[in-house]
Amino acid sequence: MSDEKKPLKKVLIIVAKGTIEDVYAGLVMANGAVMEGIETKLFFTFFGLDAITKKKMNSLHTATVGNPSMTMPGGIPFPTWLGGIPGVEAAVSSMMRKQMEELDIPPVDEFLEMITAGGGEIYACKLAVDMFKLKKEDLIDDLNGIITVGEMYELAAGDQSQIIFT
């Protein structure tokens, strides 16, 4: 048996959460894969569908309650109770989007366009679409399809393929 490393040829990234940090993790990995010439597919399920839902995609929020990594200026832990105060989550999310903009990180819709322009494919989970009573018209125009989990696994099949769950 050879220990020779074979380059990754295909990646399927599953985005299941709808927070800014979770969606962007998937988008950054997908964009990086596309730029490396790796066949790239994104599968959005459950609250991750917010990232490809036209009305929600550019107004995602960050989790302020129960987020142990959340800190205030100076590295002071962000008190969980503070996140429950009306308007705090919206303010934190706005600050996060502003910081991303300052770093020239594109909004979700532009990021998805970059990925698809580079050859990446975007899929929505049929179960989640049905569960949230969404229609194809509610989702981005560049959607490659609304598919089942079984069909998602078929997309991931093959040698030198990797599934990443964010």
CATH number at residue 54: 3.40.1260.10
Distance CA 78, CA 67 (A): 8
Is 146 part of any domain? yes
Q: Please report whether residue 71 resides in a domain.
A: yes
Q: How many domains does the chain have?
A: 1
Q: Is residue 2 part of a domain?
A: no
Is residue 131 domain-resident?
A: yes
Flag residues of the chain having pLDDT under 70.
Answer: 1-3
Backbone angles phi, psi at 40, to 5 degrees: -125, 130
Look up the domain containing 32 and give its range: 10-165
The pLDDT value recorded for residue 71 is 77
Residue 68, classed as helix, strand or coil, is coil
pLDDT, residue 2, reads 60
Residue 97 resides in a domain: yes
Task: Please check whether residue 100 lies inside any domain of the structure.
Answer: yes
pTM of the model: 0.87
